[in-house]
Amino acid sequence: MKYHLRIEVCLKPGHSDPEGETTAHLLKELGYKVEKVNVSKVYTVVLNAESREEAKVKAEEMCKRLLANPTKDHYVITVDEK
Amino acid sequence: MKYHLRIEVCLKPGHSDPEGETTAHLLKELGYKVEKVNVSKVYTVVLNAESREEAKVKAEEMCKRLLANPTKDHYVITVDEK
């Protein structure tokens, strides 16, 4: 069965976010009253799995092995049936 | 007043997503039955604005001027009061 995984990876609080800082700087230069910008990434993965539970377990593994850096990243996984 | 903007920028259908393709390739090499991966970006912006409506209008402008490429990107804006 096909599952749609939505995996959002963002920095844990306290870690520097250079892309967010640059974006905040550019938005301020354009005249916007911006205090802070954080940038995170969303992976939408179409995965074949036997069950929703298996899909969730695989998504956790993918985060630990490839998509997130456990030292500095936090991730949120959502699983939907196609 | 402070508003939290959540701006998700993703590619319009039909546009190539090299980062998604590379991620799919790497996940397959790790043994996952992945069909497709798409990558999108989420900007979380803390903005000072007079009203929710102004915050929404500013967020639209930011997308058009800096955060999204109107030719190939689609974006979704959510506004929350801090």
- Per-residue pLDDT tens digits for B15-60: 999 999 999 999 999 999 999 999 999 999 999 999 999 999 999 9
Contact A49 B33 (CB under 8 A): yes
Give me the phi and psi of A2, to 5 degrees please. Answer: -95, 135
- d(CA A13, CA A74) in angstroms, rounded, equals 9
CA-nearest residue to B43 within chain A is A39
Local confidence pLDDT in tens for the 82 residues of chain A: 999 999 999 999 999 999 999 999 999 999 999 999 999 999 999 999 999 999 999 999 999 999 999 999 999 999 998 6
pLDDT for res B17: 94
The CATH fold assigned to B2-81 is Mth169; Chain: A , (3.30.1280)
Element (H, E) at B39: strand B34-48
ipTM: 0.89
Kindly list the domain boundaries of chain B, sorted by start residue: 2-81
Q: What is the DSSP letter of A72?
A: T
pTM: 0.91
Contact B65 A37 (CB under 8 A): no
A27 touches chain B (CB under 8 A): yes
- d(CA B1, CA B45) in angstroms, rounded, equals 13
Query: Which residues of A fall within a CB distance of 8 Å from B20?
Result: 43
Name the CA dihedral angle for A64, B41, B71, A32, rounded to a multiple of 10 degrees: -160
Q: Which residues contact A25 (CB under 8 A, 6 or more apart)?
A: none
Please, which pLDDT band fits residue B81 given cuts at 50, 70 and 90? confident
CA B33 to chain centre: 26
